[in-house]
Structure 1
Amino acid sequence: MTTPETPAEAERPEPPGQPGRPGTAGRPASFADAVAAEWIKIRTVRSTFWTLLAGLVVTIGLSVLLALVFVSAYDQLTPRDRFQFDPTAYGLVGIQFGMVAFGVLGVLVVTGEYATGMIRTSLTAVPRRTRLFAAKALVLGLLVLVVGEIVSFASYFLSQLIFADRNLNEGLGEHGVLRAVIGGGLFLTLIALFALAFGMLLRHTAGAVTTVLGLLFVLPIIGSFLPGDFGVTIRKFLPTAAGGAVMGTRPSSDVLSPWVGLGVFALYTVVLLALALVLFQRRDA
């Protein structure tokens, strides 16, 4: 004979975490869950593939093309130009153009969700906004770091093969070369996170992309018109010049030292990410 339940026993809640039983409550999404979800989103969106492919083709293609142009025009160069030639930095010059694609990817990681309304679903699954934001930044950063290093090393090796015809190539073991090539991938990673911050700040694709490209390309043009030592100092600390300093192997008074320059750009990125996170927590989805 079954003993009838007392009212207290009948009202006792079911233990959580048991699927298939009515009234159970699922556990909250962990950071690992958020990272896994962001990885699924970023690798299943078509724009990710095409944007990364564009970045790869532009970066490697322009590095090879400009290396061929330089070698073909080498005989017309002045002795000073030949002396100042930096084979490693010149071989990575395509990164200065391919960074557009990685910046666009950083913007789309955020604004794509706002455009489709998926951000509400993401916040329902991961209500802790700090956790969601950190997961987005981590997944984007790791993806671009891997692709960026592949792009940087491919640009370097292919360009050095071309420079070898004139005995202008530099090996990875020479001073500063390995740092410069690795720095190319790090620079692209910071570009993507820099753009991610603006995507979160503006929440509009066209506005964020325009702002990022303006800061990366238009600011240096404006800086070039600033006169005297003041102009030189300002140009050193502009985002593109500061971050790109890590890809040089020749000392120059016109740019910051490699790691200092990358550190300055990283500081810009961290400040923008912090500001974006604060606004993300305060604003409605």
Structure 2
Amino acid sequence: MSTPQPSMPQAQPAVPNWQAAGGPAYTGYTSPIPVVRTHLGHAIASEWTKIRSVRSTMWTLGVFVLIMIGIGLGAAALIAANSSPDDLRDQNPLSFGFFGLLLGSMCVITLGVLTTASEYGTGMIRTTMVACPSRGRVLAAKSIVFFTVAFVTTLVSVLLVALADIALLDGADDPTGQEWLKGTLGISLYIALLGLLSLIIGSIIRHSAGAITIMIGVVLAPLVIALFMFSQSLEGVRQALFEYSIPNQLSVFYANSLTDSGPSGWDPLWIILGVTAVAFAGAYALLEKRDV
């Protein structure tokens, strides 16, 4: 019978210096990087960095300003050169900015869609959601940053066009305080909300081309459809499409409504605000349920 051999002692793992007996005592470790509770401000800072660092922002807003100023001043100069002071009497000089504004709104719509939908196309949305798991906070931050950028850009553009048009159209009446408020602040809020609605549709559709097509249809389709409604039985529908089309709502801010009835005063602003709020609630609900 063999005699059992004594077991060899196992080597003990090396003990780190800070755990070794007699070593220095470490009661705790304080990171040099401050640990703070994240909030909406951090998400806003992140979205601001994104929107100002991508080339699409400069291109779309640059074209918007160019269209606004170019068409607005061109229309006023053309009318001033072919009209007498008597012809310009009772004209609101601010209204000549409408032509550039309607076309320029397509640029704001495009940027609004790209602010959200482009992240789904590139896959960047996954990184965004990892950095900020609160999806509602991400959507709110995008909305706040985009709305601010669109509003400020539109306000500066319409102010420049308004001041230049008043200088060009000497025979026109000076705008009243109410006309100034609606033709600058009111129209800027409307365009910013229209762009925000585009951002929300981009979040819902998650496809840039599809969302842009939908928004262009929302802006132009009602007016185009109404133009081809010749049946007397559809007169009520035709009138409603004219009255609530976005081009007509824009013209209301310049007191040049395309129809004698329908929205007036500040009504278009409340309409677009209500539609945008409903769309935002729907986008938030879908964002919480769907995978990114």
TM range (shorter): 0.7 to 0.9
Of 129, 140, 163, the match for 1:134: 140
| 1:168 corresponding residue in structure 2 | 172
Letter aligned with residue 179 of structure 2: G
| 1:262 corresponding residue in structure 2 | 269
After superposition, the C-alpha distances for 1:55-92 in whole angstroms (9 at most, x for unaligned) are: 100111111111122223336xxx9x867744322234
**What CA distance in whole angstroms lies between the structure 1 residues aligned with 2:256 and 2:136?**
39
Q: Matched residue pairs, number?
A: 266
| 1:71 corresponding residue in structure 2 | 80
More helix by share: 1
**What CA distance in whole angstroms lies between the structure 1 residues aligned with 2:269 and 2:19?**
73
**What CA distance in whole angstroms lies between the structure 2 residues aligned with 1:152 and 1:160?**
12
Q: Determine helix, strand or coil for the equivalent of 1:29.
A: coil
**Is the 1:92–1:152 contact (alpha carbons within 8 Å) kept by the matching residues of 2?**
no
1:19 aligns to 2:28 (yes or no):
no
Of 275, 281, 287, the match for 1:280: 287
TM-score, length of structure 2 as denominator length:
0.81
| 2:42 corresponding residue in structure 1 | 33
Gaps of 5+ in 1: 6-13
**What CA distance in whole angstroms lies between the structure 2 residues aligned with 1:63 and 1:3?**
76
After superposition, the C-alpha distances for 1:233-270 in whole angstroms (9 at most, x for unaligned) are: 33222344335422337896244112112111211111
Letter aligned with residue 227 of structure 2: S
1:125 aligns to 2:154 (yes or no):
no
Gaps of 5+ in 2: 1-17, 22-27
1:88 aligns to 2:94 (yes or no):
yes
Between 251-260 and 155-164, the greater mean CA deviation after superposition: 251-260
Of 99, 103, 123, the match for 2:105: 99
Pairwise CA distance, 1:202: 0.8
**What CA distance in whole angstroms lies between the structure 1 residues aligned with 2:258 and 2:115?**
37
| 1:11 corresponding residue in structure 2 | none
Pairwise CA distance, 1:138: 0.4
**What CA distance in whole angstroms lies between the structure 2 residues aligned with 1:3 and 1:183?**
68
**What CA distance in whole angstroms lies between the structure 2 residues aligned with 1:232 and 1:254?**
9
| 1:8 corresponding residue in structure 2 | none
TM-score, length of structure 1 as denominator length:
0.83
**What CA distance in whole angstroms lies between the structure 2 residues aligned with 1:230 and 1:249?**
21
Pairwise CA distance, 1:220: 1.3
Change (3 A) 1:161 1:84: closer
Question: Percent of pairs identical after alignment?
Answer: 26
**Is the 1:64–1:159 contact (alpha carbons within 8 Å) kept by the matching residues of 2?**
yes
| 2:242 corresponding residue in structure 1 | 235
**Is the 1:244–1:261 contact (alpha carbons within 8 Å) kept by the matching residues of 2?**
no
Of 159, 162, 167, the match for 1:156: 162
**What CA distance in whole angstroms lies between the structure 1 residues aligned with 2:96 and 2:37?**
50
1:190 aligns to 2:193 (yes or no):
yes
Letter aligned with residue 168 of structure 1: A
1:54 aligns to 2:63 (yes or no):
yes
Change (3 A) 1:38 1:258: same
RMSD: 3.0
Of 199, 223, 226, the match for 2:226: 223
Of 213, 219, 222, the match for 1:210: 213
Pairwise CA distance, 1:33: 0.6
**Is the 1:245–1:256 contact (alpha carbons within 8 Å) kept by the matching residues of 2?**
yes
**Is the 1:35–1:135 contact (alpha carbons within 8 Å) kept by the matching residues of 2?**
yes
Letter aligned with residue 267 of structure 2: V
